[in-house]
Structure 1
Amino acid sequence: MDRLTELELFVKVAELGSLGGAAEALGLSNPAASRYLASLEARLSARLVERNTRRLYLTSEGQDFYERARALLAELKEAEAAVHSSTLNPSGVLRISASLSFSMQQIAPRLVRYHQLYPQVRIHIETANRYLDMIDNGIDVAIRNREFEPDSSITIRRLGSTRRVLCASASYLAERGQPQTPEALAGHDFLIYVHANNAHELRLSRGEQTQTVPIQGLLESNDGQVLRAAALSGLGILVQPSYIVYDDIVAGRLVPLLNDWDLPRIQINIAYPNRRHLSAKVRSFIDFMVAEFERDEAERKWTSFMGLQRTVGR
């Protein structure tokens, strides 16, 4: 017998004073209702309901059990309502994992707009330049750069792609010269992101041409912001995704190098655990970020060769 149905039936019997009325309210037949009530009393080893020819009433044990059962069912309904509400109305803490650079430049500046839309959601950003286990770390969404997830329990949604750009400050180039060919990169000081694929070589392509250039790091780091700060101070040549250096290049703080050559591009995805029912807070953030990237034409800017033609002296 279904224990929840037993409780619901008993509470209805107590409230309506009628087994037939309770059966009708719950969509049960009278024989089924009788079996549910008998099963409940047998399980509790107590007589809960007395009947005579004129009416039905609760025993003292039945009255005590009714108060407890009614409170239990009310709490269950409240819990169900809360969960249902959370799937419709974004609320609670949203835990996001992303690199420090992406968090600083692409998430944090957008949070004012997100908060205006979803004021009941509180944000926790876990900055990490490695991929955290989403389940073990309680991560709701993560920004990742690989094209697929080896874990089948993780779903990804594409946000866009970006070029990787060679650039340096005008002060560095004035002192060391501006390379015009891939071969001219030899002997330059590089600022290397150690988590990049093949971090100590550049695989450059232009049309049908491809060249692989080994590079040496004057500074190596696991964080793009450390390398960016060093490049702005004139320490060396930076190799970073366009979304990190785009504003610096447009503003003239950094100068793009060999801009007619391309490096392997990076795909930007938003990843989340593959659940049958996504919570409203997770769904709202995913849809928000996709809409933001489309509104800003982020992929067009970050993959375009136009707008990055600034050179020393211009």
Structure 2
Amino acid sequence: MDRLTELELFIKVAEVGSMGGAAEALGLSNPAASRHLASLEGRLKARLVERNTRRLYLTSEGQEFYERARAVLAELQDAETALNSSTLKPSGVLRVSASLSFSMQLIAPRLAQYHRLYPQVRVHIEAANRYLDMIENGIDVAIRNREFEPDSSITIRKLASTRRVLCASPAYLASHGMPQSPDELSAHDFLIYVYANHAHELRLTRDADSCVVAIQGLLESNDGQVLRAAALSGLGILVQPSYIVYDDIVAGRLVPVLNDWDLPRIQINIAYPSRKHLSAKVRSFIDFMADEFEKNNYERKWTSYMGLR
């Protein structure tokens, strides 16, 4: 039996939940599909799929194998697509979704360079602080801050990790004082990003110590740039990813607060709807952004303590 066909069939069975549907999608007869699945289970000496009169479902062994097999097959499809795409010239409209902060600070300043490399690609940036449905909104590429996608048709590639930091302007700290421990934070004014996980809690760790501090916002907003502007004016303590405030901290416009304590870190990913038949324009942007992140060593910068710990 063809091992690749066996893998493709098993993965399709897991995704559509039907032997007949999987067989139809791959252009196989039902008997041929059954033989391929039986051959795979025989070679692995494990039952991967259970069937009854009402439905089909994966065994625990089948679920584990599915996760690994899907990754292997996706990598193979990536290799084939990359080879095919290398012969095509990227062109057309590329629709990119990202938060306003990420769009302003990390995408827009690089578009001139991207255009020089790929002059036939026109870029549309959909700046949105909530995650849009990529298929429904026709998004080719999205920047997202989560480690997995609930939709199995969405693929992610990690760009970097970043700390979340507390910081405030020198003027605010001169007026209100620098907190020396987490239990002093509740007496301060906070600028809160409402879309953050547990927006009104600070889950802090330092070595083996940890604590949770409840906070309320003097200002709350669904956009990080609004909060950053307020922090620069001296309104309160900002809670934001390092990539948003790194330059302000280096320049002294903002000062880290309790920098020896850590908040949960964020993983920045680039997401796209499918690995299958990835277009040259999408591949070009993914590789361009990944190269930019590596060249600028952003993860090292954004997970550092900036010499202030």
How far does residue 305 in structure 1 lie from its aligned partner after superposition? Answer: 1.1
Q: Structure 2 stretches of 5 or more lacking a match?
A: 1-83
Q: Matched residues in 2 for 1:169 and 1:306: separation?
A: 16
How far does residue 276 in structure 1 lie from its aligned partner after superposition? Answer: 1.3
**Aligned counterparts, 1:128-167, within 5 A:** 128-167=128-167
Q: Matched residues in 1 for 2:93 and 2:87: separation?
A: 13
Contact 1:250 1:308 in 2 (8 A): no
Q: Does 1:98 align with 2:112?
A: no
Change (3 A) 1:218 1:121: same
Q: Matched residues in 2 for 1:291 and 1:217: separation?
A: 38
Q: Which amino acid aligns with 1:161?
A: S
Q: Which residue of 2 aligns with 1:88?
A: 88
Q: Which residue of 1 aligns with 2:264?
A: 264
Q: Which residue of 1 aligns with 2:44?
A: none
Contact 1:250 1:307 in 2 (8 A): no
Q: Which residue of 2 aligns with 1:183?
A: 183
Q: Which residue of 2 aligns with 1:23?
A: none
SS at 1:134 equivalent = coil
Q: Which residue of 2 aligns with 1:28?
A: none
Contact 2:94 2:124 in 1 (8 A): yes
Q: Which residue of 2 aligns with 1:212?
A: 212
Bigger Rg over Cα? 1
Q: Matched residues in 2 for 1:166 and 1:147: separation?
A: 23
How far does residue 307 in structure 1 lie from its aligned partner after superposition? Answer: 3.6
Q: Which residue of 1 aligns with 2:278?
A: 278
Q: Matched residues in 1 for 2:274 and 2:94: separation?
A: 16
SS at 2:231 equivalent = helix
How far does residue 137 in structure 1 lie from its aligned partner after superposition? Answer: 0.3
Q: Which residue of 1 aligns with 2:301?
A: 301
Q: Which amino acid aligns with 2:146?
A: R
Q: Does 1:288 align with 2:288?
A: yes
Q: Does 1:236 align with 2:236?
A: yes
How far does residue 238 in structure 1 lie from its aligned partner after superposition? Answer: 0.1
Q: Which residue of 2 aligns with 1:18?
A: none
Q: Matched residues in 2 for 1:88 and 1:156: separation?
A: 23
Change (3 A) 1:284 1:176: same
Q: Which residue of 2 aligns with 1:126?
A: 126
Q: For residues 152-203 of structure 1, what are the alpha-carbon distances to aligned partners after superposition, in whole Å with 9 as ceiling and x for unaligned?
A: 0100000010000100000001100010111111210000000000000100
How far does residue 87 in structure 1 lie from its aligned partner after superposition? Answer: 7.0
Q: Matched residues in 2 for 1:205 and 1:198: separation?
A: 15
How far does residue 308 in structure 1 lie from its aligned partner after superposition? Answer: 4.3
Q: Does 1:114 align with 2:152?
A: no
Contact 1:161 1:268 in 2 (8 A): yes
Q: CA RMSD in A?
A: 1.4
Change (3 A) 1:116 1:218: same
SS at 2:187 equivalent = coil
How far does residue 274 in structure 1 lie from its aligned partner after superposition? Answer: 0.9
Contact 2:168 2:231 in 1 (8 A): yes
SS at 1:282 equivalent = helix
Change (3 A) 1:262 1:283: same
Q: Does 1:246 align with 2:238?
A: no
Q: Which amino acid aligns with 1:132?
A: L
Q: Matched residues in 2 for 1:120 and 1:290: separation?
A: 20
Contact 1:183 1:213 in 2 (8 A): yes
Q: Matched residues in 1 for 2:87 and 2:262: separation?
A: 44
Q: For residues 81-107 of structure 1, what are the alpha-carbon distances to aligned partners after superposition, in whole Å with 9 as ceiling and x for unaligned?
A: xxx999711111000000000000011
Q: Matched residues in 2 for 1:267 and 1:88: separation?
A: 31
Contact 2:85 2:279 in 1 (8 A): no
Q: For residues 115-152 of structure 1, what are the alpha-carbon distances to aligned partners after superposition, in whole Å with 9 as ceiling and x for unaligned?
A: 11111110100000000000010000000001000000
SS at 1:171 equivalent = helix
Q: Matched residues in 2 for 1:183 and 1:124: separation?
A: 45
How far does residue 306 in structure 1 lie from its aligned partner after superposition? Answer: 2.9
Q: Matched residues in 2 for 1:269 and 1:233: separation?
A: 31
Contact 2:97 2:126 in 1 (8 A): yes
Q: Matched residues in 2 for 1:119 and 1:307: separation?
A: 41
Change (3 A) 1:198 1:86: same
How far does residue 288 in structure 1 lie from its aligned partner after superposition? Answer: 0.4
Change (3 A) 1:130 1:304: same
